[in-house]
Structures are given as structure tokens and as C-alpha cells.
Chain A
Amino acid sequence: MLTSQFLTYVAFFVLSAIALIGAFLAVTLRNLVRAALGLILSFMGVAGIYFVLEAEFVAIVQVIIYIGAISVLILFAIMLTRGLMTSAASTQNSQWIGAAFVGMLMFAVLFFVAITTNWPLAQPHTISDLIPRLGADLVTTYLLPFEAVSLLLLAALIGAIVIARE
């Protein structure tokens, strides 16, 4: 095994562990703020994996959007909610056994798929003008989804204001 390959593996497993630990903390911690911080850790791990996959753009966008925007907004919402900060509501209800069963089943199925699929290996190649091409694709091939997303965001914005205003 080449050294670089070995290092890639190490990085991948470390980052995966970070992502999984973060996700685990996010769903098990009783303190909402800490759970949100766990979520941030998980996003960090995922962003790291993107870096390992040499998808720097996706990685950075992941950090900007998921950590810089979404998580911060989640934290902000938690802070604005009175009483939630100190509450230690249980993270489980009486249906957790059923949910665990369904979750395990889903995991088993996906695991089975993951090990039986004959994953085609992508040829290693670097695209030099990745971002210009991404931008060009957004306004040519993916023009309609792009516009649909903007309409979706507009609708979400209006909806949020309708719900939140006094």
C-alpha cells in the first residue's frame, strides 16, 4: 500500500469516527445546546470526509452552510426558546423499541447493499476548472431546478414570516 493511500484511510476512519460520535451525541444528549454542538461536530466530520475525497468545494460549502448557517440558527432558536436551555427532557419515549427495530432493519438493509454492490471505482482525475463548470451547469443544464430552489426558498421565507410575526 502506498503511504498516501494509507494516510487517506487513516484520515477517512478518523473523520468517520468524528462524524459518528457527533451524530451519536446529537441524538442522545439531553441538553439541547450540547446536542446541537454534537451536530456541529458531526457536520465537521462530514466536511472532512469531503476533503479527503478531494471535493474541496463541497466540503467548504458544507462548513459554510451546515455549520455557519444552519447549526448557528438551530443554536439561536434554542437560545430564544425559554426554559429549553435548562430542561433535560428525555430523549426517548415509549416507542423507542419499535423505532430501534426499524432503524436496525434499515441499517441491515443498507449494510447488505453496501457490501453486495460492486462499486465502480472512479478513475482518479483532477478537474482544473471545477467551479466555473459548476457555475455554468447551474445556469444551463440545471437551470430549472436552480430556479425552483429559489422559489422554494422564497416560499419558505414568506412562510417563516407568516408563522413568526406578531
Chain B
Amino acid sequence: MPILVPDINLRIIAPALIVTVTAIVVLLGELVTPAERKRWLGYLSIAGLVVAAFAAFSLWGANASGFSGMVVADNFGLFLTLTIALSAALSILLSIPFIHAHEIDQGEYYVLLLASVAGMIVMATATDLIVIFLGLELLSLPLYILAAFQREDTRSLEAGIKYFLLGAFSSAFFLYGIALVFGATGTTNLAKIAASLAQSAGSPMLSIGVGLLMVGFAFKVALVPFHWWTPDVYDGAPTTVTAFMSVAVKAAAFGAFFRTFQFALPALALDWRAVAAVLAVLTMTLGNVAALLQSNVKRMLAYSSIAHAGYILIALVAMSANGLSSALFYLLAYTVTNLGAFGAVIALSDGARERLEIKDFAGAAREHPLVALALTICLLSLAGFPPFAGFVGKFLIFGAAVETGWAWLAVIGVLNSLVSVYFYLRPVVQMYMSEPAEGWSGIRVAPLVALALLIAVISVIALGVFPAPAIALAAGGLIR
């Protein structure tokens, strides 16, 4: 038998590879790190993520495909890689004091988080349905565990098991979708699927397969009516994990979502755009309305994340170059904003006791004016106020929708944003206008949390005031 040479180009998968290697180094380092030095594993993880981000940056514009067309290093994927790395690094900054306060500081926390990041990067850069699926699994599996990481807390365990069961269920849908698409087109490679569909008409089998793929993606990014797991999981999981998965999973899953639908299935656009538009309307409306009713900040942010998935879906419906770049920008803006909001919530927690009810925030502005300001800025950005990042993101997405003739969708999006202002402002009102119900004086904000918060808030403002460089970067992020 002749020696077979596989199509190896490690440079293309360098970011994912670096993250994986970091995970393994942290795993081995865990063995030799004494209990009181576990935070060094966190620093090591951040260092790995920074190196991975540099690797992604050095690949910018390379547009190289490798591993027999399984994976690609195009600007779209690299932009998402950078977003994911940023969100993971900020989450780890928040996590180091958090998991120490909750006495769950084990090195495996970082290992699992990094494994999840590797899965996300793989998913965002994959150009083959099989690899997308594997990336999806690789990002989900560690998250199931991370959601249940507070093993003493039954709600955390419940979150883990719920996420696991529903995630496994949605994976089955996704896999079945892949099987049917393969049956209809004879390939799982996105480019080949597109080529095959350009020649022949679709079939019922293909439509069902595409529908099942959509269900699988919808589960992961939490689109209505596949969102039922979101509030419970986000609520029960450790807050830092919630923060991480509310942003990074969206970035990775939407990346693959866009790549699959916009790039491989334009032939069926007429069908799936209509479905996606309906889903977007449902998601935005239900997410915002349900968020109105919440008294718990984590649940409110969970429903808000559902609503934001709806906004991003509008960009997919637009199916244009502008839509794509606006989605990229939105994901970045949402990442820093949401992490900022969660960071502020973590900063205001009292040791192991978290303040998660909205009324708990009463009077926070007196003792912690800077944290209160940060939370206010992030919530306003989530609501879409200028001059913050969220405003620019929404502006770009709605603009892309109007451009391509989906003005009514944009109008619904704007109306929803108006509704959302009410619930985003409730904690703000509590913080500034209410009398403090209990003592805030004992709380010290951990330096690392403060640092993460600072980075997030600066990014939110910078992306809002000077969006041009990021937009330009996102506009370069076209799918190859």
C-alpha cells in the first residue's frame, strides 16, 4: 500500500490548536499546582487565548482552506475566532475570583472552558457539516459540565442535566439533518452542497434535512420555540459560565449557521428566509416580553439573550454582504456588552452570596458608583442606546434588512428594542433611585473583575463612538 499523505496545514487550525494545547497544559499543570495557586492556571489559560488570538490575527486575509476542505481560515471565521477568544479571556478574568469565592476552583474548570473554546473555533471555521457537528458537540459537552460545576448546588446540577438532555436531543436533530442533506446531495462539504444545488432542483428530502439543521442551530442559539432550556440553564449555571455561554456559544453557532445557510444553501433561500423571518419575529417578541416579567437578573439576561438572537437572525434573513458584516459586528458588540453586564452583577455579589434579584440592587450606586455606572452603560448598550456598541450593531442589522427589502422585519426589531428599554432600565432605576435595603459597605470588588469590567466598558464605548475600524474589519469578514 502506498504511503498516504494527508492534507495537513496546521497553520489554518493554529488558533484552535493553540487553545487545545493550552487546555492540555492546564490539565497537566493542575496536577502540580497547589490549591492556593489555582489562579495561575487561569492566567495560563488567558495567555493561551491571547496567543491564539495573535495566531488568528496573523492569518487575517489568508483565505486558506485545508484538511481536504474540512476547515477554512477566512476572515469571517477569524473574526469570530477573535470574538470567541475575547469572550473566553474576559470570562476567565471574571471566573478566577468567582470560582475561588464559591470554592469550586479546580483546574478542570479552565480545561473544560478551553475545550469548549476549541470546539467553538472549530465550529466557526468549519466548512463541512461533519466538522460543524463535531465542533458543536465539542463546544456543548464541556458546557454541560460547566453548567453543573457547582455540584453542591442542586440548581446548578439541574441546569447541567437540563442542558445536557435538551442539547443531546437537539444534536440528534442536527445529525439527522446532516444525514438527509447528505442523502439528497451526496456530500457534507458546504461548497460541494452549494455546487450540487446549483445544478439540480431541491427535493423534499433536502428540505426536511435543511429544516432539521435549522432546528439544531435554533436550539443552540436559543431561538423561539426552541428556547425553553435557556432561562433555567442560564439561571442555574454558575454566573461566570452563564456569561461565557450567553455570548461565545452564540458567536460560534451563528457563525456556522450563517456559513451553512447563506453559503451552502442559497438555492433554497426562498424557503428558509421566510422561516427564519418568522423565527426572528417570534424570538424577539417572546424574548423581550418574557424579560419584562422577570425579577431575577440572570433570568432577565437569559430572556434578553434570546431576544438578541432574534436580532442577529434578521441579519441572516437579509442574506447580504452587509447583513453578514453587521452580524459579525453585532456579535462582537453583544459579547463585550453582555460580559460587562454579567461582570457588574458578579462585582456586586457579596462573597459567595450573589445578589441576583433586581430589588437587591437597591442603592448600589451610593457605595459602588463605578460598578453601577458600568452596569448602566452595558444595559443601555443592550437596549440599543447611542453612543454605545449595541446601538451601532442594531443600526447596522436593521439597515441591512431595509436594504434587502425586509423593512417590516426591521420595524418589528425597532419596536422590540423599545419594549426592551423598560426591563433594562429597571435595575438602573433600583440602583440610582432606591434607598439601600441592606449594607453594601462590606463588598470589595475583586481587582480581576474590575479589570474585566473596565475592558468591557471601554470596548462598549469605543465600539459605540468609533465603530469604523471594527466595522471595516467585519466588512472584510466575508465568507470565502
Name A's B-contacting residues (CB within 8 A): 109-110, 112-113, 116-118, 132, 136, 139-145, 148-149, 151-152, 154-156, 158-159, 161-163
Kindly identify, within residues 126 to 149 of chain B, every residue whose CB is under 8 Å from any CB belonging to chain A: 128, 130-131, 134-135, 137-138, 141-142, 144-145, 148-149
Name the residue of chain A whose CB is nearest to the CB of B70. A144
Contact: B148 with A163, CB < 8 Å? yes
Known contacts A112-B204, A113-B204, A159-B141; decide if A144 and B13 are in contact (CB<8 Å).
yes
* B439 lies within 8 A of chain A by Cβ: no
Instruction: For the complex, give the distance between the alpha carbons of A161 and B208 in Å.
Output: 38
Kindly identify, within residues 369 to 418 of chain B, every residue whose CB is under 8 Å from any CB belonging to chain A: none
Contact: A145 with B70, CB < 8 Å? yes
Report B-chain residues with C-beta under 8 Å of the C-beta of A136: 1, 4
Known contacts A112-B204, A116-B204; decide if A158 and B112 are in contact (CB<8 Å).
yes
Across the A-B interface, how many residue pairs have beta carbons closer than 8 Å? 91
Contact: B112 with A139, CB < 8 Å? no
Instruction: For the complex, give the distance between the alpha carbons of A145 and B27 in Å.
Output: 22
Chain A min CB distance to B200 (Å): 11
A sample of 29 inter-chain contacts (CB < 8 A) reads A110-B208, A113-B180, A113-B204, A113-B205, A116-B204, A117-B203, A139-B6, A140-B5, A142-B68, A145-B128, A145-B130, A145-B134, A148-B122, A148-B131, A148-B138, A151-B118, A151-B138, A152-B134, A152-B137, A152-B138, A155-B115, A155-B119, A156-B141, A158-B108, A158-B111, A162-B106, A162-B149, A163-B145, A163-B160
Instruction: For the complex, give the distance between the alpha carbons of A158 and B142 in Å.
Output: 9
* Of A118, A143, A149, A155, most B-chain CB atoms within 10 Å: A155
Main secondary structure on A side of the interface with B:
helix
Known contacts A145-B134, A148-B135, A155-B141; decide if A162 and B205 are in contact (CB<8 Å).
no
Known contacts A152-B138, A155-B138, A159-B141; decide if A140 and B205 are in contact (CB<8 Å).
no
Instruction: For the complex, give the distance between the alpha carbons of A144 and B131 in Å.
Output: 8
Name the residue of chain A whose CB is nearest to the CB of B111. A158
* B185 lies within 8 A of chain A by Cβ: no
Name B's A-contacting residues (CB within 8 A): 1, 4-8, 13, 20, 27, 67-68, 70-71, 106, 108, 111-112, 115-116, 118-119, 122, 128, 130-131, 134-135, 137-138, 141-142, 144-145, 148-149, 151, 160, 180, 203-205, 208
Contact: A140 with B68, CB < 8 Å? yes
Chain B min CB distance to A157 (Å): 10
Contact: B135 with A143, CB < 8 Å? no
Instruction: For the complex, give the distance between the alpha carbons of A118 and B201 in Å.
Output: 13
Report B-chain residues with C-beta under 8 Å of the C-beta of A144: 13, 67-68, 70-71, 131
Instruction: For the complex, give the distance between the alpha carbons of A156 and B71 in Å.
Output: 23
Contact: B141 with A149, CB < 8 Å? no
Name the residue of chain B whose CB is nearest to the CB of A117. B205
Report B-chain residues with C-beta under 8 Å of the C-beta of A112: 204
Instruction: For the complex, give the distance between the alpha carbons of A118 and B204 in Å.
Output: 10
Instruction: For the complex, give the distance between the alpha carbons of A18 and B386 in Å.
Output: 64
Contact: B13 with A162, CB < 8 Å? no
Instruction: For the complex, give the distance between the alpha carbons of A140 and B5 in Å.
Output: 7
Report B-chain residues with C-beta under 8 Å of the C-beta of A145: 70, 128, 130-131, 134
Report A-chain residues with C-beta under 8 Å of the C-beta of B4: 136, 139-140
Name the residue of chain A whose CB is nearest to the CB of B184. A117
Report B-chain residues with C-beta under 8 Å of the C-beta of A149: 134
Instruction: For the complex, give the distance between the alpha carbons of A9 and B138 in Å.
Output: 40
Chain A min CB distance to B87 (Å): 19
Name the residue of chain A whose CB is nearest to the CB of B69. A141
Name the residue of chain B whose CB is nearest to the CB of A133. B1
Chain A min CB distance to B182 (Å): 13
Instruction: For the complex, give the distance between the alpha carbons of A136 and B119 in Å.
Output: 25
Instruction: For the complex, give the distance between the alpha carbons of A99 and B227 in Å.
Output: 17
Report A-chain residues with C-beta under 8 Å of the C-beta of B203: 116-118
Contact: B145 with A148, CB < 8 Å? no
Report A-chain residues with C-beta under 8 Å of the C-beta of B137: 152
- Given contacts A148-B135, A155-B115, could you give 11 more A-B pairs where the C-beta distance is less than 8 Å? A112-B204, A113-B208, A143-B6, A143-B67, A148-B131, A152-B138, A158-B115, A159-B144, A162-B149, A163-B145, A163-B148
Instruction: For the complex, give the distance between the alpha carbons of A110 and B208 in Å.
Output: 8
Report A-chain residues with C-beta under 8 Å of the C-beta of B142: 155, 159
Instruction: For the complex, give the distance between the alpha carbons of A136 and B138 in Å.
Output: 24
Chain B min CB distance to A26 (Å): 15
Instruction: For the complex, give the distance between the alpha carbons of A116 and B134 in Å.
Output: 31
Contact: B134 with A109, CB < 8 Å? no
Name the residue of chain B whose CB is nearest to the CB of A164. B151
Name the residue of chain B whose CB is nearest to the CB of A155. B115
Report A-chain residues with C-beta under 8 Å of the C-beta of B149: 162
Name the residue of chain A whose CB is nearest to the CB of B109. A162
Instruction: For the complex, give the distance between the alpha carbons of A61 and B267 in Å.
Output: 37
Contact: B145 with A162, CB < 8 Å? yes
Chain A min CB distance to B130 (Å): 5
Option from A116, A140, A159, A162 in Cβ contact (under 8 Å) with B7: A140
Chain A min CB distance to B120 (Å): 12
Chain A min CB distance to B162 (Å): 14
Chain A min CB distance to B229 (Å): 15
Contact: A143 with B145, CB < 8 Å? no
Chain B min CB distance to A107 (Å): 12
Instruction: For the complex, give the distance between the alpha carbons of A145 and B142 in Å.
Output: 18
Chain B min CB distance to A52 (Å): 19
Instruction: For the complex, give the distance between the alpha carbons of A118 and B141 in Å.
Output: 38
Contact: A162 with B108, CB < 8 Å? yes
Instruction: For the complex, give the distance between the alpha carbons of A162 and B138 in Å.
Output: 16
